[in-house]
Amino acid sequence: MSNDVIVEKESLGTVAHNYWSKVKSGDIGSLPAVLGLVALAAIFTTMSEFFFTNRNFANLLTQAAPVIVIAMGLVFVLLLGEIDLSAGYASGVAGAVLVLLITNHDYPWYAALAISVGVGAVLGFLMGTLVSRVGIPSFVVTLSAFLAFQGILLLLAGEGGTIPIDNNVILAVENSNLTPTQGWILYIGVSTVYVLLGLNRINSRRRAGLKAELLNLWILKTVGLLVITGAAVFALNQERGNPPVISTRGIPIVVPIILAILVAGTFLLGSTAWGRHLYAVGGNAEAARRAGINVKRIRTSAFVLCSSLAAIAGMLFASRMNSISPSTGGSSTLLYAVGAAVIGGVSLFGGKGKMRDAILGGLVVAVIDNGMGLLGYGAGIQFLVTGAVLLVSASVDAVSRRGNLSS
């Protein structure tokens, strides 16, 4: 009997039973983040009349964007079982380079952004080299870099000083929106590509005699996703300003930027040899080395990608704050970014996680921060709640890993 026949005979009930078995064994992926996001949104909606509004929804997306991008970069490092404690201040240093080149040296925004990302890549290469080739633990290397980058940022901005930016393109990223028409075009285009790629993946696996996802289940998940994202686009396209004084409608420009990073990162991790090697090294570095994988190169490149995305986050910080200051990327930025990745489902022990997990976790962190702010709770309570959520997520990850090792 062929695998195609087996796939066709598989029912939704069988799939649900198999999934529940995985959940009971500890392999729950991003399920806690999804359930937590829904629960938190429901709680804050009942407690604040301002939470579930299109204005707050748009603000939540722009507020979360820099942390989400840093978290997406951290996914590459966490998949190796490593850590990068310097990603927050790396974003600040790269952001300062961007702003200085534009403000003080009249560089065009695209050239300044390219150089800024290049600076991030160099910083990541230096840290990755120390970790992979010299053998210094990533905790020590990136903690040292955390302090060093903070010092560099102080030198660039001056103690207590700020570096303002006055570039319409950079400022528009976090402060402007697509038109409603552009938003619907983006939604239709992305949805079409997503559906076609999904169908092609299922058909390709069936033609190759491999087990493919049940078509009915894929249709159910796809329709649900398209309905939710379509509703989000509809909500964001509604007026949330104060016409005729000011009219604000449309998807924030930063959203398609994050979407582009998500697509690129997902492709890199899931459809390239480099991505498969990264998971292999994170799962068992010695076995990967014996299989012929260049472990040192994989580790170094992961840190390069992490710091490069941190540089893009630096651009987002500059856009949102209209400047760069010595505190950019500091305070709770790194903690929120690491928390976002872990809460979303990326394992601290390496080998498990996806790029989308950083977005889910980032939204959870942003909802906590945003919702508790609307309710008037201070930073102390917000940190306590976020820390508790992170602890629960890390505990689930540890229990899941112990269950997998014992099975």
Contact 205, 2 (CB under 8 A): no
Residue 6 is predicted with a pLDDT of: 41
Residue 100 lies in a domain: yes
**For the residues of 300-343, what is the DSSP string, one character each?**
HHHHHHHHHHHHHHHHHHHHHHSEE-TTTT-TTHHHHHHHHHHH
Residue 54 lies in a domain: yes
As given in the structure block, the two tokens for residue 368 are 């906590």
Question: Distance (Å, rounded) from C-alpha 258 to C-alpha 393?
Answer: 24
Question: Distance (Å, rounded) from C-alpha 87 to C-alpha 120?
Answer: 9
Question: Distance (Å, rounded) from C-alpha 82 to C-alpha 285?
Answer: 12
Structural domain including 337 reads 3-8+30-176+252-398
Residue showing tokens 């937590």: 36
Residue showing tokens 């500890």: 26
Question: Distance (Å, rounded) from C-alpha 364 to C-alpha 356?
Answer: 13
Q: What angle do CA 379, 50, 256 make, to 5 degrees?
A: 85
pLDDT tens profile 104-139: 999 999 999 999 999 999 999 999 999 999 999 999
Question: Distance (Å, rounded) from C-alpha 75 to C-alpha 358?
Answer: 7
Residue 192 lies in a domain: no
Least Cα distance to 361 among 384, 376, 336, 343 occurs for 343
195-208: string of b/e by CB count within 10 Å (b at 16+)? eeebeeebeebbee
Least Cα distance to 72 among 308, 313, 355, 284 occurs for 355
The CATH code of the domain that includes 164 is 1.10.3470
Residue 5 is predicted with a pLDDT of: 39
Contact 178, 259 (CB under 8 A): no
User: Which residues in the chain come in under a pLDDT of 70?
Assistant: 1-29, 159-160, 244-245, 397-407
Residue showing tokens 């010299």: 134
Q: What angle do CA 222, 181, 321 make, to 5 degrees?
A: 90
Residue 217 lies in a domain: no
DSSP assignment, residue 133? Answer: I
Extended strands (E) in 76-124? none
Residue 166 lies in a domain: yes
Residue 27 is predicted with a pLDDT of: 59
What's the structural domain count of the chain?
Answer: 1
Q: For residue 243, say if its preceding peptide bond is cis, omega within 30 degrees of 0.
A: no
**SS3 of 156-205:** HHCCCCCEECCCHHHHHHHHCECCHHHHHHHHHHHHHHHHHHHHHHHHHH
Q: How many CA atoms, within 13 angstroms, populate the side-chain half-sphere of residue 148?
A: 12
Residue 260 lies in a domain: yes
pLDDT tens profile 214-271: 788 888 889 999 999 999 999 999 988 777 667 789 999 999 999 999 999 999 998 8
Residues facing residue 246 across a β-bridge: 242
Question: Distance (Å, rounded) from C-alpha 68 to C-alpha 261?
Answer: 10
Residue 397 is predicted with a pLDDT of: 66
Residue 230 lies in a domain: no
Residue 235 lies in a domain: no
Residue 2 is predicted with a pLDDT of: 42
Sign for the CA dihedral angle at 267, 273, 274, 280 comes to positive
